[in-house]
Amino acid sequence: MNVGIPRALLYFDYFPLWQTFLSLAGFEITISPPTNKDILNKGVSLCVDDACLPVKLFHGHTADLADKVDVIFIPRLISISPGEYICPKFIGLPEMIKNSVKGLPPLIIFDYNLHKDLKGEKIAFGRLGTELGVGGRAIDNAYKEAKRRQLIYRGILESGQNPLSILYPKERWDEKLGTKGTIGVIGHPYLLYDRYISMDIIRKILDNGYNVKVPANVSHSTIEKRLENMPKNLFWSYGKRILGSGMDWLADDRIHGIIFVDSFGCGIDSFVGELLHRYNIRGRRLPYTTITLDEHTGRAGFDTRLEAFLDMMEWAG
């Protein structure tokens, strides 16, 4: 059986976990291609207007797989850390797909909820294996190896490696070591690592002579430490990751500027970006800008914004 996985949303964070499990469980895997104009337009046409750009892209990637696979893997991610949640749209994603995208093969809904404790992960994969008709020992073996590879992936990123060097291994990402400084690019992985919708911002910054850091390069323990003096706990996992990494960079002399890449209509981004901007103004006052993306964002306007920021970096230096 051929299982399709949409190359969108948290695929960029969890592809080692999902692909390894399904592959070792005995299934062929097909990943939708990198985002292109047709996938974007398809997603926009199928999804409700008030959804954010990443959710619209997920619709486009799912529709692209319709006639290529036997089933499609749709994650319902409720919580990825005890006591925390992620965006509510992720919870309703399977229902949105069922009602908006017609002519799909059967959907395999992967319910993933770690809100109570970490045991929820193993339970989730056990249910997934059972639904796919895989035996108990095969499920355990596939899960253990998938978990091992996911931890390796996370460790590589936390060591400072550019995630695009893993996602796009055929290209050279470290051939030009930045000599002008380092820019922290903050945003959700499904924005930063999707080279089409992000206008290839990471490559453009590298080509202009700067190094790049992303939130995945900051460890979970560091983020917790940076946020321990906040007046209340942040219960949105990805908002917490974005704010915590930004706070770490504001305290790191090796970071010389920050770009916040957000999605129009994202409630989490709206308050996290404002908080980070205020902390910057009160502290180091690094060169800082926000670039907002939606399906109407034009490449020329985007490049102009980025060039203006890089000019500001030169003046600040």
Report the pLDDT value the prediction gives residue 82, as an integer from 0 to 100.
Answer: 83
Please list, in sequence order, all residues whose beta carbon lies within 8 angstroms of the beta carbon of residue 258, skipping any fewer than 6 positions away: 183, 184, 185, 186, 246, 249, 250, 276, 280, 286, 287, 288, 289
Residue span of the structural domain in which 308 resides? 172-316
Report the pLDDT value the prediction gives residue 177, as an integer from 0 to 100.
Answer: 62
Report the pLDDT value the prediction gives residue 176, as an integer from 0 to 100.
Answer: 57
Report the pLDDT value the prediction gives residue 145, as an integer from 0 to 100.
Answer: 96
Tens of pLDDT, residues 197-238: 999 999 999 989 899 999 999 999 999 999 888 887 777 888
Least confident of 91-95, 132-136, 161-165: 132-136
Please report whether residue 260 resides in a domain.
yes
pTM assigned to the model: 0.91
Q: How many CB atoms lie within 10 A of CB 12?
A: 20
Please report whether residue 165 resides in a domain.
no
Please report whether residue 250 resides in a domain.
yes
3-state helix, strand, coil in the chain (%, to 5): 50, 15, 35
Do residues 16 and 150 share a domain? yes
Q: By the 8 A CB rule, do 101 and 55 touch?
A: no
* Final residue before a domain boundary, out of 158, 183, 214: 158
Number of domains in the chain: 2
Residue 315 has pLDDT above 90, yes or no: no
Please report whether residue 163 resides in a domain.
no
Report the pLDDT value the prediction gives residue 175, as an integer from 0 to 100.
Answer: 55
- Across the chain, mean pLDDT equals 89
Q: At 31, is the pLDDT very low, low, confident or very high (cuts 50, 70, 90)?
A: very high
Mean pLDDT of 157-178: 81
Q: Looking at residue 233, which CATH number applies to its domain?
A: 3.40.50.11900
Question: Tokens 């997603």, residue?
Answer: 43
Please report whether residue 134 resides in a domain.
yes
Q: Looking at residue 9, which CATH number applies to its domain?
A: 3.40.50
Q: By the 8 A CB rule, do 224 and 218 touch?
A: no
Residue 103 has pLDDT above 80, yes or no: yes
Report the pLDDT value the prediction gives residue 80, as an integer from 0 to 100.
Answer: 79
Q: Per DSSP, what are the bridge partners of residue 108?
A: 73
Residue 238 exposed, middle or buried by CB count within 10 Å (0-12, 13-18, 19+): buried
Give the max Cα distance, the chain. 62
Report the pLDDT value the prediction gives residue 192, as an integer from 0 to 100.
Answer: 94
Residue 178 has pLDDT above 70, yes or no: no
